[in-house]
Amino acid sequence: MDQSEKKIIIITGTVLALFIFSILYARGRNNDLPECLPFDKAYLEPKVTQLDNKTYQVFAVAQMWQFQPTQIYIPVGSEVDFFLTSKDVVHGFNISEKNVNMMAVYGNINKSTVKFDKPGVYKITCHEYCGVGHQAMQAEVIVNDPSYK
Ligand code: CUA
């Protein structure tokens, strides 16, 4: 084998390994990739359920021009599964300061898991134009630090 061929193979292998590593790293570090789940009418009822003291499920419903639930209270350090759907047109679902970017689509469920390590108010905004009330369409995740109580 030629010296330059060997070089190319080593470079290609290194780049490929870096690429695979970065995908796995990002996946483990931020949150899982949004996934689509089979639709069920039960998802059209907005609610927050607690699985254990650090795990929550939020069933978020988008409709012109609001998200429900509007305010989601969770303790700091919680991991939250967001299940998202829409009652009408396509809406966006973006949580500021978190790597969450989902679409709310009627007849579809999108899911994303997020960990909230820092207390604060995280705005949820609709980032897909959905009509005249679009710019006012928002909700918030309120993450409490129990030591402030
Ligand atoms: Cu809903 Cu824009």
Q: Write the DSSP assignment of 68-128 as a string of letters.
A: ESSEEEEETTEEEEEEEEESSS-EEEEETTTTEEEEE-TT-EEEEEEEE-S-EEEEEE--S
If you measure from the C-alpha of residue 20 to the centroid of ligand 1, how many angstroms do you get, rounded to a whole number? 35
| Closest protein CA for atom 1 of ligand 1 | 91
Element housing 26 (H / E): helix 3-29
Q: How many CA atoms lie within 13 A of 67 on its CB side?
A: 34
Q: What is the average pLDDT across 62-80?
A: 95
pLDDT at 146: 65
Q: How many CA atoms lie within 13 A of 46 on its CB side?
A: 15
pLDDT at 47: 94
Tokens 């989902």 — which residue?
102
pLDDT at 32: 58
25 lines ligand 1 (CB under 6 A): no
pLDDT at 29: 62
129 lines ligand 1 (CB under 6 A): yes
Residues paired with residue 121 on neighbouring β-strands, in sequence order: 142
pLDDT at 63: 96
pLDDT at 37: 81
Q: Indicate the residue type of 43.
A: Y
Judged against a pLDDT cut of 70, whether residue 31 lies above it is answered with no
Judged against a pLDDT cut of 70, whether residue 148 lies above it is answered with no
Encoded tokens for 33: 């990739």
Q: What is the average pLDDT across 84-94?
A: 96
Could you tell me the CA-to-CA distances from 125 to 1, 6, 18, 103, 136 in Å, in that order?
57, 51, 34, 11, 8
Give the position, in ligand 1's atom list, of the atom nearest the Cα of 131: 2
41/103: higher pLDDT: 103
Judged against a pLDDT cut of 70, whether residue 65 lies above it is answered with yes
pLDDT at 55: 95
Predicted structure pTM score: 0.75
What is d(CA 11, CA 62) in angstroms, rounded to the nearest whole number? 47
pLDDT at 109: 93
Give the position, in ligand 1's atom list, of the atom nearest the Cα of 127: 2
pLDDT at 38: 83
How confident is the prediction for the chain on average, in pLDDT? Answer: 90
134 lines ligand 1 (CB under 6 A): yes
Q: What is the average pLDDT across 55-64?
A: 96
